[in-house]
Structure 1
Amino acid sequence: MAAPAEAPACRRVGTLTSGLLRELNICWSFSAGDLTATVVPATTFAVAAWMSTRAGIASLPLVLAECLVYFWLYIYTFNLSNQLTGIEEDRRNKPHRPLVVGLVTPQGAKWRLVWVTAAFLALGAALQVLAWTVLWIAAWAFHNHLGGARALWGKNAAMVAGTIAQLAAAWQIVTPLTPAAWTWIAAIAIPLSVLVSLQDLRDIDGDLAVGRRTAAVVFGEVACRRFFAAAFVIYPIAMHFLVYRNAATVTALIGAAAALLSFVIAYRVLRWRDRRADHTTYLLYTYWYCLTLASAVFAFGT
């Protein structure tokens, strides 16, 4: 006699599970392509902060869990906002994105942006990094909704602010910021003001179509490629004097591997010039970012 009463309950559980899986799929579709620029490096820098405290290993899983959720919300909020304001551009440059293929409607994405941003603010407050959370929201609001991305300097300024907000939050989730931590943050975030334009080489046609004034559009592709090649050769030298000069062996070796990867990026920028190759070159830059922050783990652990 209990079976008829149990059936609706089973259906409700099934509906709830299906809805949850759909939301996870939507979240993954919006966020997966940027994990090596956000979740992975930021969590790695948090591990460096953890290493600096000499805390016991039992405290590490909580750090990793907090960072995984926080920085997933960090990139999910940005990508919801960014893709909502760039649907037509994505039809040309990134036709696989969820709003273009119809995985979610623009209205649905707007509601998700509201709720995810609220969750991001709440978690930032709980983790005592609310100032950095607000800085990132202000940066993507300026970038996506106030026309910042269309200005030559606007996109780069927003990304520098975002990188500072990302790395400062990663450290502060674990322990208060120190001068040594700020040295690493500045060494990565400030040069980003010019190096981040590397990603614009793959989207020149789309940027021209929507009137976005990136460095590649304003100064020309050839000039920008030469500049980026030189910058990625010079930058490892600067990093050596800023953070690696007195580093222990393991840190120095990882720094050397990062320098080698930077040289590869410099070569690729000049040698391969199609959209797919430029996308791969940008991904290598995100790997450089991860590798550099991995060296920080050993720098603060010795």
Structure 2
Amino acid sequence: MAAPADAPACRRVGELTSGLLRELHICWSFSAGDLTATVVPATTFAVAAWTSTHASVASLPRMLAECLTYFWLYIYTFNLSNQLTGIEEDRRNKPHRPLVVGLVTPRGAKWRLVWATAAFLALGAVLRVLEWTVLWIVAWAFHNLFGGARTLWGKNAAMVAGTIAQLAAAWQIVTPLTPAAWTWIAAIAIPLSVLVSLQDLRDIDGDMAVGRRTAAVVFGEIACRRFFGAAFASYPIAMYFLVYQNAPAPAALLGLVAALLSYVIAYRVLRCRDRRADHTTYLLYTYWYCLTLASAVFAFGT
């Protein structure tokens, strides 16, 4: 006789679970493609900060949970705002995206952006990285909402600011920033001001159709490929003098692997010239980013 009375409560639990799973699916659909450029490398750099403090292993799970949550909100807020302003463009360049396929409505995405941004600010305050949280919100608002992404300098400047905000927050969540940490941040963020344009090679047609002035559009595809080839071939030399010259052996070994990956990118950008190949080449750049920050774990852990 008790079963009918319990049925509404069970139904509510089922509806709540279904709604939560749907929300997680939406969040994943907006964010999954960018995890190797945000959540993974930033959390890895936080682990480097943790190793520099020689803290107990017991403190690691909490730190990882904080970073995973914070940096998921970091990319979720960016992608919500980015895809809300680029629906028609995504129909041409990225037709799999959630707003294009109808997984969520623009109105639903706008409300999610409001709540995710509020949560991001609140968590930034709790973790004492509010200044970097605000910097990132200003950067993606400029990039996505105020037309910065449509200009060559604006898009790249926003990405540099975002990388600084990402890595500085990752370190500061764990321990105060040090000159050595800033050296690593600068060695990655400053070259990014030009190297990040690598991602635009895969979207030239779509960018031209909507009037976006990326490096590939402004300077031409051939010139950009030659520049990126030279840049990725020479970047490992700069990284050696900036961060690896006196690094311990494990860090230097990972740095060597990252250097080899950089040479692979240099080769691919010159020789592999279709949209699918360019997408793979950009993903390799994100893997280089993760690998380089993994080497920082060993650089600061000894």
Q: TM-score, normalised by structure 1?
A: 1.00
Structure 1 residue 254 corresponds to structure 2 residue 264: no
1:19 aligned to 2:26? no
The C-alpha deviation readout for 1:191-230, integer Å capped at 9, x for no partner, is: 0000000000000001000000000000000000000000
Say whether residues 1:205 and 2:205 are aligned partners: yes
How far apart are residue 3 of structure 1 and its match? 1.9
Deviation at 1:187, TM superposition (A): 0.3
Query: Which residue is 1:267 aligned to?
Result: 267
Q: Is 1:3 the equivalent of 2:3?
A: yes
Which runs of no fewer than 5 residues in structure 1 stay unpaired?
none
After the TM superposition, which segments of 4 or more aligned residues of structure 1 sit over 6 Å from their partners? none
Corresponding residue for residue 111 of structure 1? 111
Shift of 1:269: 0.2
Matches within 5 A, 1:68-217: 68-217=68-217
Letter in 2 for 1:229: G
The aligned residue for residue 223 of structure 1 is 223
Q: Name the SS of the counterpart of 1:191 in structure 2.
A: helix
**Shift of residue 4 of structure 1?**
1.9
- Secondary structure of 1:177's counterpart equals coil
1:173 is paired with a residue whose SS is: helix
Distance in 1 (alpha carbons) for counterparts of 2:246 and 2:67: 29
2: distance between equivalents of 1:243 and 1:172? 20
Tell me the CA shift for residue 55 of structure 1.
Answer: 0.3
AA at the equivalent of 1:69: T
Distance 2:183 2:121 in 1: 27
Partner of 1:16: helix, strand, or coil?
Answer: helix
SS at match of 1:81: helix
The CA deviation string for residues 78-110 of structure 1, in whole angstroms up to 9 with x for no partner, is 000000000000000000000000000000000
- Say which SS state the counterpart of residue 285 (structure 1) adopts: helix
Report the 3-state secondary structure (helix = DSSP H, G, I; strand = E; otherwise coil) of the residue aligned with 2:174.
coil
Find the aligned partners of 2:152 and 2:34 in 1 and give their Cα distance: 22
- Distance, in Å, in 2 between the alignment partners of 1:53 and 1:235 is 29
Structure 1: which amino acid aligns with 2:280? Answer: T
Tell me the distance in 1 between the aligned counterparts of 2:15 and 2:254.
Answer: 48
Q: How do 1:5-84 residues align onto structure 2 when only pairs under 5 Å count?
A: 5-84=5-84
What is the Cα deviation at residue 152 of structure 1?
1.1
Shift of 1:127: 0.2
The count of corresponding residues between Structure 1 and Structure 2 is 302
Q: Quick one: which amino acid aligns to residue 279 of structure 1?
A: H
Q: Which runs of 5+ in 2 are unaligned?
A: none
TM-score (norm 2): 1.00
For residues 199 and 168 of structure 2, what CA distance do their matches in structure 1 show? 23
Amino acid at match of 1:280: T
Cα distance in 2 for residues equivalent to 1:249 and 1:109: 47
1:246 and 1:254 map into 2 onto residues whose CA distance is: 14
Tell me the percent identity: 88
Q: Deviations over 1:166-199 (max 9, x none)?
A: 0000000000000000000000000000000000
Q: Deviations over 1:95-134 (max 9, x none)?
A: 0000000000000000000000000000000000000000
Distance 1:117 1:251 in 2: 36
Partner Cα distance (1:164, 1:141) in 2: 16
SS in 1 for 2:95: coil
